[in-house]
């Protein structure tokens, strides 16, 4: 609810936009970069829609100056991007490649010149292929390599970047990458996915320690999670149990170690037939549980769940891509449904801002005192350039209006939300969907690479200027 005479968002609230390296950069063979798991995966026939790859993406590697100008025109205060590990430390071991570091240093300097605060994510899913060849995230050594990489980037950019994020959405890395296989590296081994989840937790903890050791005291360190908002379809015990399982498998698996230093007991028992968790070594959970300055929250949509009885087929509209392999180890009987009566985005994700408010209030209870930032929120829409050359994405404006209203309402109820990053600045490579899904507020013609701000970009610019939600129409 808007309070009369007051802006919806306080003066110190940060508005920005987000991207990730593989989704926008291109230039995959330049500057000493070698393949990451996403290069390999995208070049494997049948893995990405239409055979799309990130080879060129939206050519940000060459057009970053123009992209910073776009951000500046929109009045963005902060820009969240990720560093490509393969560009900075191509084999995942040893010294950094100066050209890779220089690219990010120029980008950061360009942002600072325009008064845009850089918000750096170290890992947005693009593991150097050589580390996957050595076993990937299911192996403990990958967590150790990640901490070394964190030190290299911190040493190079710590004098100019204040805001650091270890991992983006480790749930996707672990479970889409190693259980359902719809993301790189495309493995379908549930036990390996749980090992991966643990080593991502450990990598986060080691990464935070490495960053704290290398960065000045003013640095702020956090992680971006994509917590699920599961909702039981009915209040039957089976459906309530489905909600509980997904809470543990989507949220407790990372929030437990990172925020509380323990895995939830029900996660361990729900997955007992898959793993005995003996890969968790003494001290790992304390390492994963590092003091944080920020918790990044990526929210798009809630999940409607039920439990399937007997041999009934399990419907899996969880929005995480089609695979006969489930990304939910220990939840074979959980079905995911599409709710009726709400709009559905191009990703097939229901639009429901109440999930945003519910999530922010839950995290406020879960991690009192930890500042929250919405590090991703937005929608894929069927954007078209009109005859007049404009893109009138009214559905995206309605989505943003609803979700930012939910952020404001959660803040009014005590959630300490300090910023919002719209996903995404530019249309880009949407992983297994290739270029078929447009999330940008700036339209990109993927042939000419011409950028055209959509109506939502202007709407967002108005919001940033006025700090009050402009009407959705
Ligand atoms: O494009 C992705 C992003 O890389 C991670 N979070 C979800 C977005 C939309 O699917």
Q: How far apart are CA 3 and CA 468, in angstroms?
A: 10
Task: Tell me, in angstroms, the distance from the centre of ligand 1 to residue 131's CA.
Answer: 23
Query: Is the pTM higher than 0.95?
Result: yes
Range 329-336 average pLDDT: 95
Q: How far apart are CA 223 and CA 376, in angstroms?
A: 12
Task: Tell me, in angstroms, the distance from the centre of ligand 1 to residue 430's CA.
Answer: 7
Q: How far apart are CA 123 and CA 184, in angstroms?
A: 14
Q: Among 49, 57, 171, 430, which residue has the most ligand 1 atoms within 8 Å of its CB, making it the best to mutate?
A: 430
Range 7-29 average pLDDT: 98
In this model, does residue 59 exceed pLDDT 90? yes
CATH 2.40.50.140 fits 14-466, yes or no: no
Looking at residue 446, what is its pLDDT?
98
In this model, does residue 464 exceed pLDDT 90? yes
In this model, does residue 44 exceed pLDDT 80? yes
Looking at residue 451, what is its pLDDT?
98
Task: Tell me, in angstroms, the distance from the centre of ligand 1 to residue 23's CA.
Answer: 9
What percent of the chain lies above the pLDDT cut of 90?
A: 95
β pairing state of 451-453 and 442-444: antiparallel
Q: Using a 6 Å cutoff on CB, does residue 423 contact ligand 1? A: yes
Ligand 1, residue 124: give the atom nearest the CA: 4
Q: Among 57, 81, 169, which residue has the most ligand 1 atoms within 8 Å of its CB, making it the best to mutate?
A: 169
What percent of the chain lies above the pLDDT cut of 70?
A: 99
Confidence band for 253, pLDDT divided at 50, 70 and 90:
very high
In this model, does residue 3 exceed pLDDT 80? no
Catalytic residue, candidates 243, 357, 376, 430:
376
In this model, does residue 434 exceed pLDDT 90? yes
Looking at residue 316, what is its pLDDT?
84
Catalytic residue, candidates 132, 169, 243, 357:
169
Atom 5 in ligand 1: residue holding the nearest Cα: 169
Q: Which range among 158-172, 279-293, 298-312, 346-360 shows the weakest confidence by mean pLDDT?
A: 298-312
Confidence band for 340, pLDDT divided at 50, 70 and 90:
very high
User: For the chain, how big is the Rg over CA atoms in Å?
Assistant: 21
Q: Using a 6 Å cutoff on CB, does residue 173 contact ligand 1? A: no
Looking at residue 317, what is its pLDDT?
87
Partners of residue 121 on adjacent β-strands? 82, 165
Atom 10 in ligand 1: residue holding the nearest Cα: 430
Per-residue pLDDT of 119-144, as tens digits, reads 999 999 999 999 999 999 999 999 99
Looking at residue 314, what is its pLDDT?
84
Confidence band for 321, pLDDT divided at 50, 70 and 90:
confident
Range 400-408 average pLDDT: 98
In this model, does residue 313 exceed pLDDT 80? no
- Does 169 participate in catalysis according to the annotation? yes
Confidence band for 473, pLDDT divided at 50, 70 and 90:
confident
In this model, does residue 114 exceed pLDDT 80? yes
Per-residue pLDDT of 63-111, as tens digits, reads 999 999 999 999 999 999 999 999 999 999 999 999 999 999 999 999 9
In 131-284, where do the E strands start and end? 163-168, 220-225, 230-232
Supply the mean pLDDT for the chain.
97
In this model, does residue 51 exceed pLDDT 90? yes
In this model, does residue 1 exceed pLDDT 70? no
Range 179-206 average pLDDT: 98
Q: How far apart are CA 285 and CA 136, in angstroms?
A: 20
Q: Which residues contact 119 (CB under 8 A, 6 or more apart)?
A: 16, 18, 78, 79, 80, 81, 163, 165, 375, 421
Check residue 99 and report its DSSP letter.
H
> How many residues in the chain?
473
Say if residues 142 and 200 touch (Cβ distance below 8 Å). no
- Closest-CA residue to 222 (of 240, 207, 242): 207
User: Which of the pair, 118 or 314, is modelled with greater confidence?
Assistant: 118
- Closest-CA residue to 17 (of 359, 378, 395, 468): 378
Range 310-334 average pLDDT: 88
């Amino acid at each position: 609810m808007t309070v009369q005479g007051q802006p919806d968002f306080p003066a110190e609230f940060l508005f920005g936009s987000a991207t990730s390296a593989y989704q926008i950069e291109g230039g995959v063979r330049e500057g000493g970069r070698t393949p990451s798991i996403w290069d390999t995966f995208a070049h494997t026939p049948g893995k990405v829609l239409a055979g799309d790859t990130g080879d060129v993406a939206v050519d940000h590697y060459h057009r970053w100056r123009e992209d910073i100008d776009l951000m500046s025109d929109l009045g963005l205060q902060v820009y969240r991007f990720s560093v490509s590990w393969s560009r900075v430390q191509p084999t995942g071991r040893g010294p950094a490649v100066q050209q890779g570091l220089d690219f990010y240093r120029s980008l950061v300097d360009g942002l600072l010149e325009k008064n845009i605060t850089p918000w750096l994510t170290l890992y947005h899913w693009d593991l150097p292929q050589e580390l996957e060849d050595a076993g990937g995230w299911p192996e403990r050594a990958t967590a150790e390599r990640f901490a070394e990489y964190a030190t290299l980037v911190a040493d190079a950019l710590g004098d100019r970047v204040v805001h650091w994020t270890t991992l983006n959405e480790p749930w996707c890395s672990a479970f889409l990458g190693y259980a359902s296989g719809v993301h790189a590296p495309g493995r379908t081994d549930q036990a390996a996915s749980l090992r991966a989840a643990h080593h991502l937790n450990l990598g986060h903890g080691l990464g935070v320690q490495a960053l704290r050791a290398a960065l000045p005291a003013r640095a702020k360190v956090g992680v971006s999670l994509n917590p699920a908002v599961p909702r039981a379809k009915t209040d039957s015990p089976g459906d309530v149990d489905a909600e509980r399982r997904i809470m543990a498998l989507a949220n407790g698996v990372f929030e437990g170690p990172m925020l509380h230093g323990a895995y939830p007991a029900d996660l361990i028992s729900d997955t007992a037939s898959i793993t005995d968790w003996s890969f968790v070594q003494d001290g790992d959970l304390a390492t994963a549980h590092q003091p944080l300055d920020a918790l990044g929250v990526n929210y798009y949509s809630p999940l409607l769940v039920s439990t399937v009885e007997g041999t009934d087929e399990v419907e899996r509209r969880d929005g995480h891509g089609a695979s006969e392999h489930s990304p939910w180890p220990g939840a074979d009987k959980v079905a995911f449904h599409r709710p009726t009566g709400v709009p559905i985005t191009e990703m097939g994700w229901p639009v429901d801002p109440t999930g945003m408010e519910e999530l922010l209030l839950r995290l406020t209870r879960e991690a009192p005192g930890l500042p929250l930032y919405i590090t991703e929120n937005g929608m894929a829409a069927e954007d078209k350039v009109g005859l007049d050359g404009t893109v009138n994405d009214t559905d995206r404006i309605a989505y943003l209006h609803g979700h930012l209203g939910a952020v404001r309402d959660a803040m009014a109820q005590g959630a300490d939300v300090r910023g919002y990053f719209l996903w995404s600045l530019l249309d880009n490579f949407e992983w297994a969907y290739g270029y078929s899904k447009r999330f940008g507020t700036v339209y990109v013609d993927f042939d000419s690479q011409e950028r055209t701000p959509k109506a939502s970009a202007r709407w967002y610019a108005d919001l940033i200027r006025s700090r009050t939600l402009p009407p959705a129409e």
